[in-house]
Amino acid sequence: MSFVTTADGTDIFYKDWGTGRPVVLAHGWPLNSDSWEAQQLFLADNGYRAIAHDRRGHGRSTQTWHGNEMDTYADDLAALLDHLDLRDVTLVGFSTGGGEITRYIGRHGTSPVAQAVLVSAVPPLMLRRDDNPGGVPIEVFDGIRAGSVADRSQLYRDLADGPFFGNNRPGVEISQGVRDAFWLQSMAAGHRNAYESIAAFSATDFRDDLARFDVPTLVIHGDDDQVVPFEVGGKASAALVKGARLLVYPGAPHGITDTHKEQLGDDLLAFLREHA
């Protein structure tokens, strides 16, 4: 098993598959790098070095008491890139992972970065505020926090069985295996880590970070995303990144890494091949 140890002693687990130009994949809440396995295998089979890590407090990484916010997530990602001496890398972030790579660029710049991809990602700002009137009400996130405290195992079941994969939509049937995998990964996250990460993904303002993007950027989002609404997430982020390309998956839910894995793999590969 491979780990990088950060400055504060946290061990960050990562998988490093294949050879070629590097692609680093940052996962969503409250999952871990296993959620990227379909894309990681596909990219490695197509000539890329696909690397996916477990965010601190998630999966096999250290369940720290501290650091469960975006600045530290971004610094942990920087430690991984430095440890592996990665250059000319494409950063891909799903959901909360989209916030992680966005804050990384905001804090560390794009010196080693060739491309960026935001998939169903939380930037620019999920929470409804006076300066973000189209955002999601705080009561939604307070409800997630309450569910986490009361019975987080059932909360994760409810997310997987309902809005995350769109299984609550007429005619949609997501396999038991996919839903069970979501629950299993979620339960591997530390209770405090997952709880504090709710504020990290919902209340962090990434607008200034997006303004620092100066590399080719692809934004992919489903227009039936019930977790990070399209208007709040992908559409708004694409408008803030100069030259960003927006791909909309009609009728797609939040969890497109599973529900649309073939389409997503093809779109990622096509984007990667544009970089000489």
Catalytic residues: 95, 225, 254
113 touches 215 (CB < 8 A):
yes
Cβ count near 242 (within 10 Å): 10
Buried b (16+ CB within 10 A) or exposed e, 167-194: beeeeeebeeeebebbbebbebbbeebb
242 touches 269 (CB < 8 A):
no
Give the whole-angstrom CA distance, residue 128 versus residue 152.
24
Give the whole-angstrom CA distance, residue 43 versus residue 24.
11
Retrieve residue 189's tokens: 């996250």
Retrieve residue 3's tokens: 């780990």
Q: Output the CA torsion 85→265→237→213 (10° steps).
A: 30
Give the whole-angstrom CA distance, residue 235 versus residue 228.
11
Print the SS3 string covering 61-115: CCCCCCCCCHHHHHHHHHHHHHHCCCCCEEEEEECHHHHHHHHHHHHHCCCCEEE
